[in-house]
Amino acid sequence: MAPRPKGAIIRRIMDPASSIPIPNRADTLKVLRVIGRHAPILMLSGSDDGYGSRWTLSGQQVQPAIARYLMEAGFIAESGKTEFGARALTLTDAGVSFRERGIAWWASLSVVEKLKVMLLG
């Protein structure tokens, strides 16, 4: 078996649909799994308080880099607003496909490869 090029486990299957690099692949996949099954990401505008926008999923904060990536790549889109004015963001068809590819990618990794991805992003 020929050795894989450095970083091959990072690029396999869960390649982005665009040239934007995926931030922290393991955490991005965790977000995709939850948003797909349980709840939308809520975008809370915070420009009035000086903190900027924040994103939450099931009450937990989503890293801004992950939320922005999913929005910019077209994997999530606004599906409405809550009664408190937060924007609800759900998976698009491209997002569902990306999640499925990501789950298959993760399942194909060995324990050592998964550790590398979790530690190195």
Enumerate the domain spans of the chain. Answer: 20-120
pLDDT at 20 over 90: no
pLDDT score of 9: 43
pTM of this prediction exceeds 0.85? no
d(CA 40, CA 35): 5
With contact defined as beta carbons under 8 Å apart, do 31 and 25 qualify? no
| Predicted local confidence at residue 48, as pLDDT | 58
20-120: CATH number: 1.10.10
Strand partners, 40: none
For residues 2 and 119, give the distance between their C-alpha atoms in angstroms, rounded to a whole number.
25
Share of the chain above pLDDT 70, in %: 76
Residue 15 has pLDDT above 60, yes or no: no
* CA distances (Å), origin 43, targets 25, 52, 67, 106, 109: 21, 10, 9, 27, 32
Q: Are the beta carbons of 65 and 24 closer than 8 angstroms?
A: yes
Q: What is the pLDDT of residues 62-119, one digit of tens each?
A: 998 999 999 999 999 988 888 888 889 999 999 999 999 999 999 999 999 999 998 8
